A and B are shown apart, each in its own frame.
Chain A
Amino acid sequence: RKEVEQDPGPFNVPEGATVAFNCTYSNSASQSFFWYRQDCRKEPKLLMSVYSSGNEDGRFTAQLNRASQYISLLIRDSKLSDSATYLCVVTTNAGKSTFGDGTTLTVKP
């Protein structure tokens, strides 16, 4: 079993739709959690950190459930420009980061 697992998708949604991605992790020593966005043939870029209390940044909401060991990303009112691969990243208290394989989102007109 992988340390960090994501549904690979692809998720194909119309503009304006709400879409949610989940990511599960197996290491209970995990300390920090992030969502990155990666466009085709580009480097990953930080989308948002994930805090225990949940956090929101515009149309994006991230949540953490430590008891069930998963994090989620919700995108509301999807835009064409949201089309990308979304990577979840889990960092342990020893500083080692593990990336999920990513979930691909395509937003269609």
Chain B
Amino acid sequence: DGGITQSPKYLFRKEGQNVTLSCEQNLNHDAMYWYRQDPGQGLRLIYYSQIVNDFQKGDIAEGYSVSREKKESFPLTVTSAQKNPTAFYLCASSTPGQWDQPQHFGDGTRLSIL
């Protein structure tokens, strides 16, 4: 079955530590996205990538970094510069250029500060 896999499901970060969240998809989608969701709020875009080796900042990119070396993979690093990292992180993918095609989501990673 095609889909998006995020890991780990739960992650704990110590102060001053960088952590990396994994996102892998086998849907053959060119575009991938990272969102952050805080309790009772909607999704906010962190970074997105429409093609391999290219990515753009979303609305809340500060304190985060990404890479897109392979079509299937779009890891997100939460750096120590992100002072309030506790949130639910969601990865999504879609087919760019086909705007009537929705995004498909992984089941998320919950990040907390130790």
Contact = CB atoms under 8 A, between A and B. Distances in A.
Q: Do A and B bind each other?
A: yes
Interface of A: 4, 31-32, 34, 36, 41-46, 49, 87, 89, 91, 93, 95-102
B43 A44 contact: yes
B90 A44 contact: yes
Interface of B: 31, 33, 35, 40-45, 48, 50, 88, 90, 96-97, 99-100, 102-108
A85 B13 CA distance: 28
Contacts of B35: 99
A95 B31 contact: yes
Given A31-B99, A91-B99, A93-B99, A43 B106 contact: yes
Contacts of A96: 45, 48
A97 B45 CA distance: 8
Nearest to A34: B102
A14 to B, nearest CB: 24
A95 B50 contact: yes
Nearest to A42: B107
